[in-house]
Chain A
């Protein structure tokens, strides 16, 4: 272990001795965070984007109210209109509606707002929705959005997660109600009230909804520039995006140093010392992780300074960063096995990063690209990193919510380690 640490520390020293590395570690990514952040920023701050979604409630039932409340709680980035206005404090107008419009919100108004870009999506709850639910029939909620925008993706996600939840609760409530009827515990007259009570219980059993993060500044900012409502992306896009890309550039680029060490003979020198090969390669991997963590800390730290809110689950973001950095360190070892010269390694690292970063949504949200490109994009580890980071930033996701991207990234790491360590040559 001591030897492993000695190797890691020495390798880090070699890396940090080189001034040009600092340029790629510090200056370049910072510039990019600002530039790309500015492109996606529509409001003054770097706060989490707020997306307006209009709800046309044709049912006005307790079930509809429950659904709307669920939506409002599902994602702090989502402004559910016109209800957000009704619960907003005096003088605030998160939905950009006047009082009359909010009181008497119509489908026509919603359609117009969507067309004008004041909202990003409209969800219509049809009349008779609760009745259908009670009867155990399928209800169709109509979700409309401008597909060229990224924001509806987030709105749709919220709707889907809430309806899935509601769906689960509905099944539970339906089953218990039927059972209660069969057992004559309740009469047909009690059916509706009993069902709703069970539904609410089941809903509650999903656990508390994610805490609502109140950001009055964001709402204020939206007010100022209300025609460009909502989704700013800004640093919430550029900080994780550039952190992912530059971690890849810098850590995968370490393969060049490794190849150089093989040419210089220092790697061979290590082999004739009384240490195990696993300690040598372990040290190289640890160095990759350390540089990656440094890069992540620099850029995500900058993001935090600029107001990006990385959710309220530090475990989630820490796990994501660790897993991603490990994946990239594995890629670096793999690259070192296939490169003959340092220049070749640097070239491949840069080219791969420059291809995988935009593909994986580091430069712009993947939600803005056509679905097939989103699918293709997921060959890039960065896509999985961005998925998880979006879940954390926009939906206040926890460890459980990012499990899929984490596991996929670990899969990448396993494959690259398996290929890299087996093929690694010391001479």
Chain B
């Protein structure tokens, strides 16, 4: 089956020839009905990529084909297929949510009953039916975000781009947004291109994740596949504070089954182990026999953060 989104060698440099290279040789193949996340830190080039894929920015090079239409020559056909949820809230704040939705709906070619129904549907989806007639400027950040998303879904596009839709919202709104994304895929079979710098979101939502950094996709695959690249090891953090840990104890711990690596870092003993939970009792026994006091224990399974760290030597949010 051909991909619904197919991107080859996409490039973009702002203010050439000296400006920043925001996107560099990006290739994407996204299947219909897939949720694909672009995960990357601030300035990685996520928004620039989305902007080119939605026809807002002219690509500096490469090709973009969406639903079989080339974006440069058949922009209008592409635009009919896609819904865009921009990173910044883009709404008329003096108007109500319903007025905003009515207006944008008209621009998507909806009218009359069809428009009314579409508006009510998305309002229900974002759980804002009761307050739909209030002005946007009176809404909380999370409510604005939800309306911002709703505009992109009005015309039930086959593809929706969501650019960091959860930035700056309370946990409740965030949960609501993530659930909405999952519903879109499940109930409507929408294809979702989602960008985020929260690895938990990418991990929860995505069929596949592309890790983007400095304008390049440095790794791609399902969460499981990506994590395998750093190994299946758990990380056990034993909080020991300022205590001196004798080398003998460390080598004793290294003998425990599954443990592959131990280092001391910032008042923690960081132990890497396959199947960390099994190794944990033995580690604690060793510690207590040698009067090492353990203040707390954390077991962390490897995640996309580790993948990013492994690939770039940096954290996602620094």
User: Which residues of A line the B interface, CB within 8 A?
Assistant: 2-3, 6-7, 10, 13-14, 17-18, 264-266, 268-276, 426-427
Given A17-B95, A272-B84 in contact, is the A264-B90 Cβ separation under 8 Å?
yes
Contacts of A264 in B (CB 8 A): 88-93
Contact with A along B48-79 (1 / 0, CB 8 A): 00000011110000000000000000001001
| Contact across chains for A14 and B94 when beta carbons are under 8 A apart | yes
Contacts of B151 in A (CB 8 A): 269
Contacts of A270 in B (CB 8 A): 107
Query: Quick one: which of A18, A268, A274, A275 contacts B90, CB cutoff 8 A?
Result: A268
Q: Which residue of chain A has the shortest Cβ distance to B106 in the bound complex? A: A6
User: Which residues of B line the A interface, CB within 8 A?
Assistant: 54-57, 76, 79-80, 82, 84, 86, 88-95, 99, 103-104, 106-109, 111, 151
A68 CB to closest chain B CB (Å) equals 62
Most buried by B among A18, A272, A275, A427: A272
Contacts of A273 in B (CB 8 A): 79, 104, 107-108
B164 CB to closest chain A CB (Å) equals 13
Complex CA gap A7/B106 in Å reads 9
| Contact across chains for A10 and B103 when beta carbons are under 8 A apart | yes
Most buried by A among B95, B106, B151: B106
Complex CA gap A18/B90 in Å reads 19
- Could you list 21 A-B pairs, sorted by A, with CB under 8 Å? A3-B106, A3-B107, A13-B95, A14-B95, A17-B94, A264-B88, A265-B86, A265-B89, A265-B90, A268-B56, A269-B104, A269-B151, A271-B55, A272-B79, A273-B108, A274-B76, A274-B80, A274-B107, A274-B109, A276-B76, A426-B56
Closest CB pairs A-B (n = 9): A265-B90, A274-B79, A6-B106, A269-B90, A272-B54, A10-B103, A17-B94, A272-B84, A274-B80
| Contact across chains for B92 and A10 when beta carbons are under 8 A apart | yes
Q: Which residue of chain A has the shortest Cβ distance to B78 in the bound complex? A: A274
| Contact across chains for B82 and A272 when beta carbons are under 8 A apart | yes
Contacts of A7 in B (CB 8 A): 107
Query: Quick one: which of B57, B93, B99, B106 contacts A2, CB cutoff 8 A?
Result: B106
Complex CA gap A272/B99 in Å reads 19
| Contact across chains for B95 and A274 when beta carbons are under 8 A apart | no
Contacts of A272 in B (CB 8 A): 54-56, 79, 82, 84
| Contact across chains for A268 and B76 when beta carbons are under 8 A apart | no
Complex CA gap A268/B47 in Å reads 13
Contacts of B93 in A (CB 8 A): 264
Q: Which residue of chain B has the shortest Cβ distance to A270 in the bound complex? A: B107
Contacts of B82 in A (CB 8 A): 272
| Contact across chains for B55 and A266 when beta carbons are under 8 A apart | no
Contacts of A266 in B (CB 8 A): 90-92
Complex CA gap A269/B150 in Å reads 13
Contacts of A2 in B (CB 8 A): 106, 111
Contacts of B99 in A (CB 8 A): 10, 13
Given A3-B107, A17-B95, A273-B104 in contact, is the A427-B56 Cβ separation under 8 Å?
yes
Contacts of B104 in A (CB 8 A): 269, 273
Given A13-B99, A17-B94, A264-B93 in contact, is the A6-B55 Cβ separation under 8 Å?
no
Query: Quick one: which of A3, A269, A274 contacts B86, CB cutoff 8 A?
Result: A269
Most buried by B among A6, A273, A276: A273
